[in-house]
Chains A and B, each alone.
Chain A
Amino acid sequence: VSNSPEDEGISRDDVFIADLFARAEGEIIPMHPDYNPNEGLERFLEQLGNGQPTVPPRPSREVVSPGLGGGAIEQQVTVAIIEDHPVVTEEVASWIRSDPGQRVRLVHTGADLTGLLTGPRALADVVILDLELSGELVTAQIPGLVAAGYRVVAFSGRCDPAIVRETMDNGADVYASKEEGSDHLVEAVLAVAADRPYVTRSEAEAILADQRPDRPALSPQEQQALRLWFQGMSKASVGRRMSVSENTVRQYISRARARYAATGRTASSKDALLAGPSPDAPCQ
């Protein structure tokens, strides 16, 4: 990266504005008389006296700038894990922690839904939900979570296509089997948080196995793309087989999933799902 003003195209306007910003740095504390600039200093000095100072926790998503042209800062996607097996919770948490970009932040764990539905607003952007809590299926609870503002990534050891469809019908954004979790869970969380569709092979299987008379109608291309992909082909290979581009394959698969989403999703998310293909849909 070049540093020279000529290469960077730095004009006199730029220098002038930079001077104004430099001045702003000197003025900014007096502009906020309600804030104590040294609020953290005493805490730091105390920690310094007691031992190694600790780095403060990352600020919450709800932190909103009160002014000066600022606003809420783009932050990590927040996630809650509802799972009644602590070992699984820890495993999912470890996938989140090992994300190199640290794009997801775990803010809540629980063995049931109690903590998620009692507050005035959603605790997290996305809920990773074990479908079987204390031996009972909780698919019927998904509409309540959606209504409370959560996006739902169902995560289950159950692979029965009927349960997958029921989960999708109830408004879950993604169904991931526990075998698919380590590869796809973080990406699925990020996709649904951004209202992007994300299709797993479990969902493809459930759609292909659907024999209900009122099932959504898929086009022949959508069915073929889903079938080939579910059989283990990469989307690129499916594209070559069907003589279409890989991106078109993504569209076929996402549209097929969106037809199912249309039965149980809220309008805004449904629109988002129908809007376009998923760039992050899992494929080999």
Chain B
Amino acid sequence: MAERLDDRHRSELAACAKCLWEHVYAFAMLVTCSDHALAQDVTQSAFAAALPEWPRLRCLTEPERERWLKRVAANKAIDEFRRNDTAEAHRSAVWERCRPRETDTHRDAMVAVAFERFWKAIDRLPPQAYRAAVMRWRLDMSERDIASAMGIAQKTVSSHLSRVRAELRVELGDYWPIDRDGREGGASL
């Protein structure tokens, strides 16, 4: 009986993997600066970690399972970024804030040209600045948590993020929808 139950769980996890693999991989690609090999590894690690947890995970909704898998995948990726063990202490707090961002009107309004300009600026960032940016704006980590995870000074993180903000403003130009006083402005997206 136990074996049949285990087989059923494996079958369900296989179906889940077929459905969510690309989503988790895409997330891992973003977090790992498009490091395909590492993204595949952390994706596989996340699904491997799901098997012993499956009795609990199978009761969740699909978005909840996706959130769990992405959280595990990014933990693995952050392990690669980490130069010291201080991030461990912050990990639980960090991941309470890591969740798929809900679609909203703002995102829906983004036009292709704005996104292309955004990615052009991101694409030329040095590795450390890229990692700081993705941790800040995709993983919702605080500057303090990023500094701990990367083993660098918080001021350095602030400097990276300020520079990225400034470069994005320049690159997007009129497609930046918020003026410097924080009001909606610029070109209509």
User: Does B57 make an interface contact (CB < 8 A)?
Assistant: no
Contact A53 B137 (CB under 8 A): no
Once A16-B178, A29-B26 are accepted as A-B contacts, the answer to whether A43 and B137 lie under 8 Å apart by CB is no
A101 to B149, CA, bound (A): 12
Contact A70 B45 (CB under 8 A): no
Of all chain A residues, which has the CB nearest B13?
A: A48
- Residue from B13, B29, B79 within 8 A of A29 (CB atoms): B29
User: Does A212 make an interface contact (CB < 8 A)?
Assistant: no
A23 to B102, CA, bound (A): 11
In the complex, how many angstroms separate the beta carbon of A187 from the nearest chain B beta carbon? 13
A63 to B133, CA, bound (A): 21
Of all chain B residues, which has the CB nearest A39?
A: B40
Set of chain A residues within 8 Å of B94, measured between Cβ atoms: 1
Of all chain A residues, which has the CB nearest B109?
A: A19
Contact B110 A68 (CB under 8 A): no
Set of chain A residues within 8 Å of B34, measured between Cβ atoms: 28, 31-32, 65-68, 70
Set of chain B residues within 8 Å of A74, measured between Cβ atoms: 80-81, 83, 127, 150
- Residue from B13, B14, B96, B101 within 8 A of A19 (CB atoms): B101
- Residue from A41, A58, A69 within 8 A of B130 (CB atoms): A69
Q: Which residues between 6 and 54 of chain A lie within 8 Å of chain B, taking CB atoms?
A: 8, 11-29, 31-32, 35, 37-41, 43-45, 47-49, 52-54
Contact B21 A41 (CB under 8 A): yes
Contact B13 A65 (CB under 8 A): no
In the complex, how many angstroms separate the beta carbon of B181 from the nearest chain A beta carbon? 10
Set of chain A residues within 8 Å of B110, measured between Cβ atoms: 19-20, 23
User: Does A100 make an interface contact (CB < 8 A)?
Assistant: yes
Interface of B, helix, strand, loop or mixed by DSSP: helix
Contact A23 B107 (CB under 8 A): yes
User: Does A71 make an interface contact (CB < 8 A)?
Assistant: yes
In the complex, how many angstroms separate the beta carbon of B110 from the nearest chain A beta carbon? 6
Of all chain B residues, which has the CB nearest A10?
A: B140
User: Does A75 make an interface contact (CB < 8 A)?
Assistant: yes
Interface membership of chain B positions 60-98, coded 1 if the CB is closer than 8 angstroms to chain A and 0 otherwise: 000000000000000000011111110000100110110
Once A18-B138, A19-B106 are accepted as A-B contacts, the answer to whether A55 and B44 lie under 8 Å apart by CB is yes
Set of chain B residues within 8 Å of A267, measured between Cβ atoms: none
Q: Give the B-binding residues of A (Cβ under 8 A).
A: 1-3, 8, 11-29, 31-32, 35, 37-41, 43-45, 47-49, 52-59, 63-75, 100-103
Q: Give the A-binding residues of B (Cβ under 8 A).
A: 10, 13-14, 17-18, 21-22, 25-27, 29-30, 32-38, 40-41, 43-45, 47-49, 51, 79-85, 90, 93-94, 96-97, 100-101, 104, 106-107, 110, 114-115, 118-119, 122-127, 129-130, 133-134, 136-138, 140, 142, 144-145, 150, 164-165, 168, 176-178, 182
